[in-house]
């Protein structure tokens, strides 16, 4: 190579390096919504039919990214809930508890396959109404929802093997109430084990995210699921309360905030209703000095910024061992600068829209609280869309155990960082919260992982990874994070009585 050629090549490489350091600019890559079919108005799904609410009340559902109205949704009163429970009871007594377990399994397999066929439509609707990036709805929420139906379809005719030496009896009508952060997936987590175990269902989705549950009702119709086996009643908190207080419901499964969980627990005290609660969290993500740092940084980013931090098991508290703290924080800040915040329908977007105006206000209030408490705030420079509800990824440095941003659930893309020196110190700090849903440990040493997993008071502990879900693996919390488990074999138990 001549000297001149060598010089030209070096200049080209230098140009490239310049390009890398200034970051890639992606062209917009919006997912199309032209294949999505949404009704102007949705009724209640009761006894296999679409029925208008008795009070003729409706509410609007909007896109949190564009603030456009997507559809009108029926608001179920206590009288509508009563109709739904009667339909579920009738289906339980006369159809679902009479057919063979193998038949039940067939319906569940069919539902799983139809979800797969309609995966693209489900993903787009989930993103339009919920605000989460299309990449997540497409690659996580929808496939996992289908997998839950597949998984529990397999159990339907094998309950005698699941609980050897016992007879597994269904319990009747299950009332299920779910939140807005994983609308379709939470519906799948609730409905699939209930049906596999032989029960019927009345389900209420969250007010801001009813659409994929209503689309699921269309799947049930297409699958030929007998009328009344699953009923979907949309509405606000009062609709949920009407399910909880209905005397003919045998089991309540609730996912949502700890405050509402406590109200529900009080409401059913003294009744025969079974109860599972999946509530809030304030997970600790712990990085030791011997961890693979780049991998850990990627895990932290996934743990808190995934789904805008609208994840009950989000790794919202970061504990870094002192020796690597500066390195981790620098890498974390650099990585945050490359995150794309914006249109959730764009396939490049990492952080989509906050689910509602109210939730955005709650997060922004916590940002102020953090600053007033004396923590140092870091947000990468990013232009947020003018319309819609968006929040930049945020770090809080120099926080301490007594800070509210360390103790309280923010449910947004906000990470509070503390450092530690010893295993004992980090265990004490990590466990010092009213919650106990999940945790993460990053280290090269297997023995350290086992030591930590036995001592961390959390239902799920991930090691050298974060936010991984599988239908075969049980999920649930300690302390104020909940009661009972969903997923896996454990997830069948709350829907059965063993004799």
3-state secondary structure (DSSP) of residue 482: strand
The Cβ-side half-sphere exposure at 455, using a 13 Å CA radius, reads: 16
- Does position 255 interact with ligand NAP (CB under 6 A)? The reply is yes
Identify which range of 115-123, 156-164, 235-243, 384-392 contacts ligand NAP by CB under 6 A: 235-243
Select from 263, 293, 377, 463 the one that contacts ligand NAP (CB under 6 A): 263
- E strands of 350-401, at which residues? 376-378, 394-397
C-alpha 41/C-alpha 102 separation (Å) is 36
**Active-site pick, 43, 126, 136, 312:** 312
Q: CA–CA distance from 351 to each of 156, 206, 394 (Å)?
A: 38, 21, 12
Select from 175, 240, 370, 413 the one that contacts ligand NAP (CB under 6 A): 240
Say if CB 426 and CB 420 are below 8 A apart.
Answer: yes
Select from 129, 141, 207, 343 the one that contacts ligand NAP (CB under 6 A): 207
What is the bridge-based pairing of β-strands 414-420 and 317-321?
A: parallel
**Active-site pick, 31, 43, 207, 278:** 278
Pattern of binders to ligand NAP over 272-291, x per CB under 6 A?
Answer: ------xxxx----------
Q: Compute the least distance from the CB of residue 278 to ligand NAP, in Å.
A: 3
Q: Which two tokens stand for residue 436?
A: 């106990």
Angle between helices 183-196 and 101-117 (to 10 degrees): 160
3-state secondary structure (DSSP) of residue 168: strand
312 has catalytic annotation: yes
Q: SS3 breakdown of the chain: % helix, strand, coil, rounded to 5?
A: 45, 20, 40
Select from 153, 191, 192, 206 the one that contacts ligand NAP (CB under 6 A): 206
Select from 76, 88, 253, 260 the one that contacts ligand NAP (CB under 6 A): 260
Select from 133, 193, 198, 256 the one that contacts ligand NAP (CB under 6 A): 256
382 has catalytic annotation: no
Select from 257, 348, 379, 464 the one that contacts ligand NAP (CB under 6 A): 257
Q: Compute the least distance from the CB of residue 216 to ligand NAP, in Å.
A: 15
Site for ligand NAP in 394-413 (CB under 6 A): 409, 411
Q: Compute the least distance from the CB of residue 439 to ligand NAP, in Å.
A: 14
- Does position 237 interact with ligand NAP (CB under 6 A)? The reply is yes
Say if CB 403 and CB 249 are below 8 A apart.
Answer: no
For tokens 């939730």, what's the residue? 359
- Does position 181 interact with ligand NAP (CB under 6 A)? The reply is yes
Q: Compute the least distance from the CB of residue 448 to ligand NAP, in Å.
A: 27
Q: CA–CA distance from 95 to each of 198, 228, 343, 393 (Å)?
A: 10, 9, 45, 50
| Interacting residues toward ligand NAP by CB under 6 A | 177-181, 204, 206-207, 236-237, 240-241, 244, 255-257, 260, 263-264, 278-281, 312, 409, 411, 437, 477, 482
Active site residues: 278, 312
């Amino acid at each position: 190579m001549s000297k001149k050629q060598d010089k030209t090549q070096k200049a080209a490489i230098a140009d490239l390096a310049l390009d890398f350091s200034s970051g890639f600019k992606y062209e917009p890559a919006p997912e199309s919504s032209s294949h999505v079919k949404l009704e102007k108005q949705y009724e209640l799904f009761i006894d296999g039919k679409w029925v208008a609410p008795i009070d003729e009340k409706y509410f609007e559902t909007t896109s949190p990214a564009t603030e456009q109205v997507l559809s009108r949704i029926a608001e179920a009163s206590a009288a509508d809930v009563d109709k739904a429970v009667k339909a579920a009871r009738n289906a339980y007594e006369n159809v679902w508890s009479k057919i063979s377990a193998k038949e039940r399994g067939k319906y569940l397999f069919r539902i799983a396959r139809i979800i797969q066929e309609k995966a693209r439509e489900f993903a787009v609707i989930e993103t339009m109404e919920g605000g989460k990036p299309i990449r997540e709805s497409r690659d996580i929420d929808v496939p996992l929802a289908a997998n839950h139906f597949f998984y529990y379809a397999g159990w339907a005719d094998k309950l005698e093997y699941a609980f050897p030496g016992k007879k597994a009896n269904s319990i009747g009508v299950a009332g299920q109430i779910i939140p807005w952060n994983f609308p379709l997936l939470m519906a799948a987590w609730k409905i699939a084990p209930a049906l596999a175990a032989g029960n019927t269902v009345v389900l209420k989705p969250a007010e801001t995210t009813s659409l994929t549950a209503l689309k699921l009702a269309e799947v049930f119709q297409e699958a030929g699921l007998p009328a009344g086996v699953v009923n979907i009643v949309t509405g606000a908190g009062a609709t949920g309360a009407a399910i909880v207080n209905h005397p003919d419901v045998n089991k309540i499964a609730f996912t949502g905030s700890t405050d509402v969980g406590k109200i529900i627990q009080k409401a059913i005290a003294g009744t025969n209703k079974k109860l599972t609660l999946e509530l809030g969290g304030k997970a600790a993500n712990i990085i030791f000095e011997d961890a693979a740092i780049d991998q850990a940084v990627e895990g932290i980013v996934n743990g808190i910024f995934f789904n805008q931090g609208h994840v009950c098991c989000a790794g919202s508290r970061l504990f870094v061992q002192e020796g690597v703290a500066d390195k981790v924080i620098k890498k974390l800040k650099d990585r945050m600068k490359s995150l794309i915040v914006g249109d959730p329908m764009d396939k490049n977007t990492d952080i989509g829209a906050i689910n509602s105006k109210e939730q955005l206000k709650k997060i922004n209030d916590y940002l102020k609280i953090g600053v007033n408490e004396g923590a140092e705030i870091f947000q990468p420079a990013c232009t947020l869309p003018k319309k819609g509800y968006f929040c930049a990824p945020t770090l809080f440095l120099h926080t301490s155990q007594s800070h509210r941003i360390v103790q309280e659930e923010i449910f947004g893309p906000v990470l509070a960082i503390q450092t530690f020196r010893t295993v004992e110190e980090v265990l004490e700090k990590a466990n010092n919260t009213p919650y106990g849903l999940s945790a993460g440990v990053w280290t090269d040493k297997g023995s350290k992982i086992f030591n930590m997993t036995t001592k961390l008071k959390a239902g799920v502990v991930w090691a050298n990874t974060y936010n991984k879900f599988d239908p075969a693996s049980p999920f649930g919390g300690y302390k104020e994070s909940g009661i009972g488990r969903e997923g896996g074999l454990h997830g069948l138990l709350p829907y059965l009585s063993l004799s």
